Amino acid sequence: MKKSLVKLVILGILLMWNTSALLCQDLNYTQYFNAPLNYNPASTGLTTGLKARFLFRDQWPQLPVDFKSYYFSADLGDRSLPGAGGLGLVVVSDCPGYGLIKSLSMGLTFAVRVPITDNLATQIGIKAGFVQKRVNWNDYVFTDQLDNRLGAIYLTSFTAPDGNKRTVADFGAGGILQFSNKNENVSGTVGLAVDHLFQPDISFLADQGSHIPRKWIVNGDMIINTQTNQQSPLKVNIGFLYQNQANLSAFQVGLNLVKYNVYLGGWYKSAINGLAPNNVFAVTAGVKYPFSEDLSIKLVYSYDIQISGSLQGTGGAHEISLLIDVGNISIFGGSSGRGGTPGRGMHSQSRSLECSEF
């Protein structure tokens, strides 16, 4: 009976989702800095080399309907590319509670790089892909199936739509300004992006539209190398992310520290929907293992601690990310640009702009 009631609640959410504009944000990762293509396609190939990123999030694990999400992206920064930017692929899969609703989005990303000076560059990127929602109608329990004492024992009068999945095209665009100082001990980025550019209709019901609201993202970060003359200096990465989608806003700010390839960090997150905000403090910890100068693997874990709002007692959220960084690789011939070597017809860029320093 408890499982049936949970499914009934999820059904109510689904029906509201199909009969009005989608009033929730896309899933937001605490480790957004480890899922950059999910937020701004201009991040594609921002530094040279090949990068593969895997991320898993388990949100509200103490509820019977916790939300699980899987993220994968791969992008290549190759200064021999036409436009000297990058190519990428991003895949996000969500499976909220019992698998009754499954969501899949996939996109190809492309970025063009425009050097301005040796220590200043900009990238403009686009994403083209699709969003798919899938529902298994047979797993739902409807109100007319319920008996007060015996639970779900009746047949339902609900007539399911012809299909159990809906696939629509989806597009995004963004820009990033990348900079460093002359001493190359400080570098950073500032970005602006928009997702669901044309607000695709994802409704299962033909007579009722459910458009995915356009999402605006602003983010920035700065990496400070505190001891340039040491082999393993302390590095500080300060960052922020702001999102607005429909009537919901989310903001997070914090920092990560790395020393001897060990990562520690803390982040404050706040989500506001016109009511009382939900506030979270997240802690991160990780380790990086460099196999060689051009190959490294990084593993990072984070945990969200609910500090205020209506979601206290839900168990927060767990995130695990795995990042593989392969440098000095080019698929179009010539130099990839690692270490400041330019591609065809491009300005020489400082090492702090071309290499993954954090």
Tell me which residue range forms the domain holding 32.
Answer: 2-354
pLDDT for residue 21: 38
pLDDT for residue 288: 95
pLDDT for residue 274: 63
- The b-or-e profile of 125-144 (16+ CB within 10 A means b, else e) is bbbebebbbbbebeebbbee
Q: What is the pLDDT of residues 130-160, one digit of tens each?
A: 999 887 766 667 677 677 777 777 777 676 6
| Per-residue DSSP letter, 148 | T
List all residues 6 or more positions away from 268 whose beta carbon is below 8 Å from its beta carbon: 252, 253, 254, 279, 280, 281, 282
Q: Phi and psi at residue 167, in whole multiples of 5°?
A: -125, 130
Q: Residue 155's closest CA among 165, 166, 167, 143?
A: 143
pLDDT for residue 303: 96
CATH, residue 137? 2.40.160.40
Low-confidence ranges of the chain (pLDDT < 70): 1-25, 66, 96-99, 137-140, 142, 145, 157, 159-163, 205-208, 228-230, 274-276, 309-313, 332-349, 352, 356
Number of Cβ within a 10 Å radius of residue 316? 22
Number of Cβ within a 10 Å radius of residue 304? 22
Q: What is the pLDDT of residues 231-277, one digit of tens each?
A: 778 999 999 999 999 888 999 999 999 999 999 999 999 988 766 67
Question: How many structural domains does the chain have?
Answer: 1
Q: Is the whole model's pTM more than 0.85, yes or no?
A: no
What does the alpha-carbon distance between residue 57 and residue 304 come to, in Å, rounded to a whole number?
11
